[in-house]
Structure 1
Amino acid sequence: MPPQLPPTLRIHHNPDPTAPNRRSLHTTTAFPTPGTTIATFTTPLLALPDGPSMRTTCNYCLRTTTTELTTTPSTNPGSQSPTLTLKACTACQTAVYCGAACQRAHWKAGHKGECGMLARVRDVQGGDRDRALPTPAFFGEGEGVLEGNVEGFRADGELWRDFELQAKGAVVYAGLGEGWLGRAREVLCKIQTNAFNRLDADTGMTGIFLDAGLAMVNHSCVPNAFIGFDKRTAVLRTERPIQEGEEITISYIDNTLPKSARHEALRLYHFKCDCPRCKDDLDVYEVCRTSPHLRLNSFSLQPDLTKLRNPSIDKAKVSKEEIEAIYKKWKALGEPEGNDEDDHLKLAQARWEVCQPLVEAKMWAVEPLPTTISQLAMRWQTSYKMVVYALPLLCFVSTECDPIKLVAPFMPWRIKGVMAIVMLLAVTGEFTASGELATRCTHEGLVGTLAMADQVSMCEALLRLAVHHGSIGASEDWGVLKEAKAMLADLESLQGREQESRLLQAWAKDPEDPEGAAFFESQVLGPIKTLSSFAVEGLEAMLGGKSLVKR
């Protein structure tokens, strides 16, 4: 039986047996505005947290005990969301719930089939509830239409052996006979092929989401839609205008990676992508130049559309083949095994060295260079000594990398980047007010810029960006958006800022308002650009062996 779909979607069947996509999702109406909700999916076959998060997440509604935005500084504890109190199922002592309603709903949704199995797993593991993994015993209506790619997985020896081991464990703990092994393997293949990863570290969201209808949507490295998750609901939104009858596509992977890396990431889906980005091997700058989203950046931290269309890069310095080799060499460096600062610094230095051809070409948005900078910024964000130096890096990524990689400013990652700057401005603002900044930072330009900047107005402007674009690209319950709204309300209540707030409100309402635009340019965008200009200098000093930190 075909899955039930919202009225805005229909399944298209391709009669060509050799076609890579035999089924696809198409619209039944036009969606001319980017960020528009195409459909919501509220009755998934599976929606569950991962193993490590099973004890901190309601196993039905998927609300988490963690705070809504993990980057919130300790100086603003009042804006954090209250934690949940979760109670365990009395029978298996493994699944946890935020209330009786969720417990009853989860029992009907499938827990009644897995409860005994989880109890047996707990008993075998000596009562270690945190190690027990949720194992869905049954699928609901719609599972039969899902593609499993069983033969493709069977050809992958290592992965198939892992599936066999998991299937045997599920069959044994479920009390079923060996005749169920094939069925269990097929279920695992279908989950691997069709489930979506709900991971969002900033809001504590983890786990998988599987809906038979949503699973029909095909991949493209230049998609026209994207998916967001809100607890037990998936929302399909337009990334660009979509015509009536047009096929809906999303990206299953990070579509900003080099071509070979994208195809490797798609290996487990058992198809070769032939989208325009792959056919012509377009890099992120080429995709950005012709993007229908460019004009939306007029209200962003990179409003210079000419710079997005004609970036100051030198492609002659590095070929696409060399970029592929750079990425492979970068990946081969691996990850540090522990949390030792010296190990992390050595890895960052090695990555920076590998990326030098991209640095020389000023191709800041081409991977793996943006990730190298972003990961170092995230590391410095949580470092007592380096937190001030993280700010220029985040400003640089938000102005030189993200607008090229993710052209639509309402994409969640762009909004998170803006919010990360807000959080650091809150921290450095306190350092500036207390006089501590000069004792922490050796960079005179950085100290001087922050000392002269109206950091409160900068925060307000960035929060207005986050609220505007977050309201387009995410649900109202998205933790990042809720945090932005709460912080903006706090700033608007401050006394003595009526003039500044009035100008920023005028700018947010109309980015071309003369007074508002001039205030934004001088008091917000100007300092952001100046801070961004210090990023490369700081990277070269720190990763070149020179310390930026005062001893």
Structure 2
Amino acid sequence: MPPQLPPGVRVHHDHTTSPSPGSKRRSLIATRAFAPGTPIATFSNPLLALPDGATMRTTCNYCLRVGASSSSSSTTDNNKNNSSSGDGSSSSNGTPLRACTACKAAVYCGAACQRAHWRAVHRAECKMFSRVRESAGKEWLPTPAFGGGGGAWALEGNVEGFRADEALWRDFELQAAAAAVYAGLLESEETLEKAREVLCKIQTNAFNRLDADTGLSGIFLDVGLAMVNHSCVPNAFIGFDRRTAVLRAERPIQEGEEITISYIDNALPKSARQEALRLYHFRCDCPRCRDDLDVYEVCQTSPDIPLNSFSLQPDLSKLRSPPVDRSRVSKGEIEAIYNRWQKLDKPKGDDEEEHTNLARARWELCRPLIEAKLWAVEPLPTTILELATCWQTSYKMVVYALPLLCFLCTQCDPFKLVAPFMPARIKSIVAVVKLLAVTGELTASGALATRCSHEGVVGTLAMADQVSMCEALLRLAVHHGSIGAAEDWDVLKQAKSMLEDVESLEGRDQESALVRAWATDPEDPDGAAFFERQVLSPVNSLASFAIEILEATLRGKGLIRK
């Protein structure tokens, strides 16, 4: 029987006997209009929802919450990587995960999840896990199981396409044989063929929920959700909340319009996107691919630009006409830069010097992009982000991470992800707030100047009302997070908690009133002036130091005093 779809969507099938190359056999269609950020449909009865092997002992096997390490006492890639979303359930909250007393393979955050998982699937797999554990003498982790019901027949497998890739097909053959042995099934050719077909369907249709920033893990497969096709200029995105996937509008969607998402990081150069889509066995013909548009060109045509009037990039004219100089670097050169960037050896550990050396090599590769001021064109923003992430945990460099993140929030993220409610943009804002909390303490104690040799950064922070900055940024995060993410999303919960802490501070009635006035109505004269003076101006000032800091640090000149 066909998959049961939630209200808001329907499946359209192409019954053409000889479809043209690149045509879609089926697609998901909106049954009504949806505004940006609006939930389109919720999928809460997945065919498959489980941790991957690497996270099985650190993730509740039912609700997929990440918790503390498991114990043995009882409780009384794919694949579609919707990387632009970042939405999901809570990160590790310290809740102890307890293992099933029988198999000791499955772990749970509580008795309710254990009972639900038992009814759903574990009663059929527990004995198998126990048998393998006893025969092997080890707590071997099970391979993902996959049932054939629930409309699995409707899933595309692309078996012949995978078979044509000899190396990948050999890997599938090994996985299929291992799964048959693990499950105690007869290793007949029929069994192995079915197992290989299952692996192809999982590879093609499942979503990887992994997001280290928010503690997401696991694989999610819903037959109805798998009907959503890809576009590098999508009009929707997916967020996860425990065992539920929510399909949300990224752009305005009209009744009868096809709903599309991006299976990959759609900000990559064209050849990198095509390589990432190789395992899906189709060639994307969206406007971004057909006309080889960069992120700025896509941004310029986005209907979401006006939403940024309430954001850290409220200058809509800049989004419509970005100040870049494309004459300095061709798109072919950008492809070559990205390919060389990808081949650089990455550090195997957390050594700060190794990460800095890698950033130095990457920064030099990106020199043509820097000269063209194509800050949002990959691999330049990832180069800056990864260095900022490293510096956030460095005693010596933590202050310098703040200008880098302010730069990403104002000069990169709004062009790559035009809708301000996209979870990746919200995560960046919350990261800025956390660093402002650090620099605020250093400023109050008088230690900032001893931790930072850049006089422009020190002077800006010394003059700034960092508490008001935090309050305004948190109101941005809470507002947009409530639109584009699940209520239980860890980043949103953190933002709400930090906002409560800021609001509880005494002696800030006037400042808080002005921030609230701006958050309620961004065009309120007094509130807007306060936001411009006390929040946007210092954020832009800090962002303006980012390139100077990167140039000085990565080109071996030392940090420059101003």
CA 1:317–1:136: 2 relative to 1, 3 Å: same
Q: Map 1:106-145 onto structure 2 (within 5 A).
A: 106-123=117-134, 126-127=137-138, 129=139, 132-145=141-154
* Residue 14 (structure 1) shift: 0.8
Preserved CA contact (<8 Å) 1:26 1:245:
yes
Partner of 1:471: 482
**Aligned equivalents of 1:504, 1:42: Cα separation in 2:** 38
Partner of 2:30: 27
Preserved CA contact (<8 Å) 2:65 2:92:
no
* Residue 311 (structure 1) shift: 1.3
Greater shift, 183-192 or 13-22, is seen at: 13-22
> C-alpha offsets along residues 166-186 of structure 1, whole Å, 9 cap, x if unaligned?
111110111111221111111
**Aligned equivalents of 1:342, 1:493: Cα separation in 2:** 40
* Residue 138 (structure 1) shift: 2.6
**Aligned equivalents of 2:287, 2:14: Cα separation in 1:** 20
Q: CA RMSD in A?
A: 1.7
Instruction: Indicate yes or no: 2:206 matched with 1:195.
Output: yes
**Aligned equivalents of 2:257, 2:91: Cα separation in 1:** 42
Instruction: Indicate yes or no: 2:540 matched with 1:540.
Output: no
Instruction: Please point out which of 54, 60, 81 is paired with 1:58.
Output: 60
Partner of 1:146: 155
- SS class of match (1:178): coil
**Aligned equivalents of 1:343, 1:50: Cα separation in 2:** 30
**Aligned equivalents of 1:80, 1:189: Cα separation in 2:** 30
- SS class of match (2:350): coil
Preserved CA contact (<8 Å) 1:66 1:83:
yes
**Aligned equivalents of 1:534, 1:66: Cα separation in 2:** 39
Partner of 2:398: 387
> C-alpha offsets along residues 453-506 of structure 1, whole Å, 9 cap, x if unaligned?
100000000000000100110111111111111111111111100000000000
Preserved CA contact (<8 Å) 1:113 1:138:
no
Instruction: Please point out which of 33, 42, 61 is paired with 1:40.
Output: 42
Partner of 1:314: 325
**TM-score of the pair, normalised by structure 2:** 0.93
Q: Map 1:337-376 onto structure 2 (within 5 A).
A: 337-376=348-387
* Residue 116 (structure 1) shift: 2.8
Preserved CA contact (<8 Å) 2:48 2:219:
yes
The one-letter amino acid of 1:316's match is S
Preserved CA contact (<8 Å) 2:474 2:498:
yes
Partner of 2:182: 173
CA 1:190–1:549: 2 relative to 1, 3 Å: farther
Greater shift, 38-47 or 97-106, is seen at: 97-106
Partner of 1:6: 6
**TM-score of the pair, normalised by structure 1:** 0.95
> C-alpha offsets along residues 226-272 of structure 1, whole Å, 9 cap, x if unaligned?
00000000000001111111111000000011111101000000000
Partner of 1:71: none
**Aligned equivalents of 2:176, 2:119: Cα separation in 1:** 24
- For structure 2, the 5+ residue unaligned runs are 70-89
Q: Map 1:354-433 onto structure 2 (within 5 A).
A: 354-433=365-444
The one-letter amino acid of 2:439's match is T
* Residue 15 (structure 1) shift: 1.8
The one-letter amino acid of 1:540's match is E
* Residue 100 (structure 1) shift: 2.4
CA 1:231–1:219: 2 relative to 1, 3 Å: same
* Residue 92 (structure 1) shift: 0.9
**Aligned equivalents of 2:158, 2:222: Cα separation in 1:** 17
- SS class of match (2:112): helix
CA 1:59–1:549: 2 relative to 1, 3 Å: farther
> C-alpha offsets along residues 72-123 of structure 1, whole Å, 9 cap, x if unaligned?
xxxxxxx998521222112210101122222222123222332233234434
CA 1:56–1:519: 2 relative to 1, 3 Å: same
Partner of 1:501: 512
**Aligned equivalents of 2:111, 2:402: Cα separation in 1:** 45
**Aligned equivalents of 2:524, 2:409: Cα separation in 1:** 23
> C-alpha offsets along residues 358-415 of structure 1, whole Å, 9 cap, x if unaligned?
0000000000000000000001001111100000000000000000000000000000
The one-letter amino acid of 1:49's match is P
- SS class of match (2:10): strand
* Number of aligned positions between the proteins: 536
* Residue 125 (structure 1) shift: 5.1
**Aligned equivalents of 1:234, 1:244: Cα separation in 2:** 21
**Aligned equivalents of 1:371, 1:484: Cα separation in 2:** 24
- SS class of match (2:456): helix
Preserved CA contact (<8 Å) 1:147 1:190:
yes
The one-letter amino acid of 1:44's match is P
- SS class of match (1:203): coil
* Residue 135 (structure 1) shift: 2.4
Preserved CA contact (<8 Å) 2:58 2:68:
yes
The one-letter amino acid of 1:37's match is P
Preserved CA contact (<8 Å) 1:291 1:407:
yes
Preserved CA contact (<8 Å) 2:68 2:96:
no
Preserved CA contact (<8 Å) 1:66 1:204:
no
Preserved CA contact (<8 Å) 1:349 1:543:
yes
> C-alpha offsets along residues 51-76 of structure 1, whole Å, 9 cap, x if unaligned?
22211211001122169xxxxxxxxx
Instruction: Please point out which of 478, 492, 507 is paired with 1:481.
Output: 492
- SS class of match (1:235): strand
Q: Map 1:451-470 onto structure 2 (within 5 A).
A: 451-470=462-481
- SS class of match (1:273): coil
Preserved CA contact (<8 Å) 1:114 1:135:
no
The one-letter amino acid of 2:31's match is T
| Percent identity between the two aligned chains | 72
**Aligned equivalents of 2:2, 2:345: Cα separation in 1:** 43
* Residue 140 (structure 1) shift: 3.1
Partner of 1:73: none
CA 1:98–1:341: 2 relative to 1, 3 Å: closer
CA 1:14–1:170: 2 relative to 1, 3 Å: same
**Aligned equivalents of 1:164, 1:120: Cα separation in 2:** 23
The one-letter amino acid of 2:272's match is A
Preserved CA contact (<8 Å) 2:67 2:92:
no
Preserved CA contact (<8 Å) 1:6 1:40:
yes
> C-alpha offsets along residues 302-359 of structure 1, whole Å, 9 cap, x if unaligned?
1001111111111000011111111111111132223333322221111000000000
* Residue 146 (structure 1) shift: 0.6
**Aligned equivalents of 2:275, 2:135: Cα separation in 1:** 38
